[in-house]
Amino acid sequence: MKKNYDIVIIGGGPAGLAAAVAAYDNGVKDILILEREERLGGILNQCIHNGFGLTRFKESLSGPEYAARFIDEVQKRQIEVCTQTTVLALSKEKQVTVINSAQGVFTVQAKSVVLAMGCRERSRGALNVAGSRPAGIYSAGTAQKYVNIKGYLPGKRVVILGSGDIGLIMARRMTLEGAKVLAVCEIMPYSSGLKRNIAQCLDDFGIPLYLSHTITKIEGEKRVTGVVVSKVDENKRPIAGTEMHFDCDTVLFSVGLIPENELTKMAGIELSPKTRGAVVYQNRETDTDGVFACGNVLQVHDLVDFVSEEAEIAGKAAAQYVLNGAKVREEISVNTGNNISYVLPQKIDRNAGGQVKLFFRVTNTFKNCTITATSGGEVIAKRKKRIAVPGEMETLLLTEKTLAGINDEIVVSLEVDE
Amino acid sequence: MKKTLTCIECPLGCEIEVTMNGDEIVSIVGNGCLRGKAYAENEVTCPKRVVTSTVRAENGALVPVKTDAPVKKSEMFEIMQKINAVKVKLPVKIGDILLENISDGANLIATGNEE
């Protein structure tokens, strides 16, 4: 490893890999990828189910197969990779302090940094589920690692809290390996998982999905022995008298993902409270010149295909920054209006030219609605939707021509049709 | 008779309505593409799924695997037993056949590289 690099990429998962390839192909060859695990690929390595890559490759790949496509591209370009290497600190001056067992602690200076650290799972602690602290409680992703990487089945009778995709995938996976999944409980009146996962992971195996239900008690001293599940009202408060009891030895939590932004915070980069990722321009540049963010560390995506797409934007922009330096910007802010929980990018640089795709999520399930982007009281883009759900990221395209005529803040909102 | 299905071919998850007259398909409505039509046809006659799992390598590492074609949903657990009996020699490359004809002509193939 050298002391100076044009581009340092933090994270060797799908975002980091695609960013590295894009940066290289846009003219910068002096790149370092830092990865804390033993191998490249990130969380894809434990996602052995199929369904990845349909958008990008028109094929249904497993996670490791999808990762391998990008790892091959990285290797072909002989991009330098450092695995089992953890980044400890990042400064605003783009100094990256890292640690590994071979070289100890050292610092590399980058001209540009791409943040591609991904996200982590929300924990039980973040949910305040009552009960003791016995063994047998896992996040869905931890259970996935046990089953798919280590080869252990973490339990025989399972109740899953939350209907996120990882939980649904694990319901099927543990069932196929001989466990009995008794129930999936979702506190919301809708599932946050993909419809196809409800069909092929729950319905295929007769696993019940209880919407508007949550776990109100976990029982057991040394090991989980059971849970109490209750129905909740509109305010998500448990309703007395609706309790159901399940005898189980395992509880999985699949209750959402949080971008992993400790390094971003450390560098003093502005974060959005809505996405919990960095505030960025359309080229995925943060408020710190030359520092870019992409993939799940920026916004939690539904599909890895979109992570790769976003990482290519960031990788290309990082290369341009190294080659051409910082830009003079003309900034327009992008904000959320009615029924929109977040929108990204949060800022558009008009001088950049080209079209801009806005990514956002809606706050609830809406039927027969219209999503609009407005600026200065005028509608600049709109899309009608038969159904919009928070679990599916929405997009609106602003063409170069549209952007050329805009001077005021852009607001994205959703209204239900009359 | 009408059957409502959720298509599992892609993340859109189209809701497909199949109208049947006995064993005969009268109409398929709601599919967004041709893959969805094929899925619906199979689903009302003989539902099939790609099965993904892992097998042990000699050194104890796990190698991810899948069936290279969809197999009968009703046979998934028998297929899992066959998968769990497989032991592989390293190295393994993506696409290597680890068990030929695991079911109805489908092979079990590796989906990960392991040195």
ipTM associated with this complex: 0.93
CATH code of B72's domain: 3.10.530.10
pLDDT attached to residue A412: 97
Q: Are residues A350 and A386 in the same domain?
A: yes
Quick one: pLDDT at residue A25? 98
* B4, pLDDT greater than 80: yes
Q: B65 to chain A: which residues are within 8 Å by CB?
A: 48
Residue B42 CA, chain-centre distance (Å), reads 12
Q: How high is the pLDDT of residue A408?
A: 93
Looking at residue B11, its pLDDT comes to 78
pLDDT, tens digit, 9 for 90 and up, residues B76-100: 999 999 999 999 999 999 999 999 9
In SS3 terms, A288-337 reads as: CCCEEECHHHCCCCCCHHHHHHHHHHHHHHHHHHHHHCCCCCCEEEEEEC
Q: What is the pLDDT of residue B101?
A: 96
Q: Do B112 and A48 touch (CB under 8 A)?
A: yes
Q: What is the pLDDT of residue A126?
A: 66
Strand partners, A150: none
User: pLDDT tens digit string along A292-350?
Assistant: 999 999 999 999 999 999 999 999 999 999 999 988 899 999 999 999 999 999 999 98
Cα–chain center distance at A16: 13
A64 neighbourhood in chain B, CB within 8 Å: 64, 94, 111-113
End-to-end CA separation in angstroms for chain B: 53
Domain match, A127 and A251 both: yes
Contact A62 B66 (CB under 8 A): yes
Write down the mean pLDDT value for chain A.
95
Q: Min CA distance, A173 vs chain B (Å)? A: 8
CATH number of the domain within which A342 lies: 2.60.40
B41 and B57 in a single domain? The answer is no
Give the CATH number for residue A226: 3.50.50.60
Q: CA A297, CA A275: separation in Å to the nearest integer? A: 9
Phi, psi (rounded to 5 degrees) for A318:
-65, -40
Residue of B nearest to A205 (CA): B73
Residues of B at the A interface, defined by Cβ within 8 angstroms? 5-11, 13, 15, 49-54, 56, 60, 62, 64-66, 73, 76-77, 80, 94, 111-113
Answer whether A62 sits within 8 Å of B13, measured CB to CB: no
Number of C-alpha atoms within 13 angstroms, CB side, residue A250? 23
Structural domain span for residue B31? 2-45
Asked whether residue B67 is domain-assigned, the answer is yes
d(C-alpha A78, C-alpha A32), whole Å:
10
pLDDT at B33 over 80: yes
Q: Are residues B57 and B34 in the same domain?
A: no
The boundaries of the domain holding residue A49 are 1-119+257-327
Q: For A123, which DSSP code?
A: P
Q: State which of A255, A282, A297 marks the end of a domain.
A: A255
Note whether A276 and A352 are same-domain residues. Answer: no
Contact A177 B80 (CB under 8 A): yes
Q: What is the mean pLDDT of each run of 10 residues along chain A (418 residues)?
A: 95 98 98 97 97 92 98 98 98 97 96 97 75 89 96 96 94 97 94 89 97 94 95 95 97 94 97 96 97 98 95 98 92 96 96 93 92 94 90 92 91 93
Domain membership flag for residue B74:
yes
Q: Do B73 and A51 touch (CB under 8 A)?
A: no
Distance separating the N- and C-terminal Cα atoms of chain A: 62
pLDDT at position A243 is 97
Q: A144 and A241, same structural domain?
A: yes
Amino acid letter at A254?
S
Alpha-carbon gap: B24 to the closest alpha carbon of chain A (Å): 23
Q: How many domains does chain B have?
A: 2
A317 lies in the same domain as A337: no
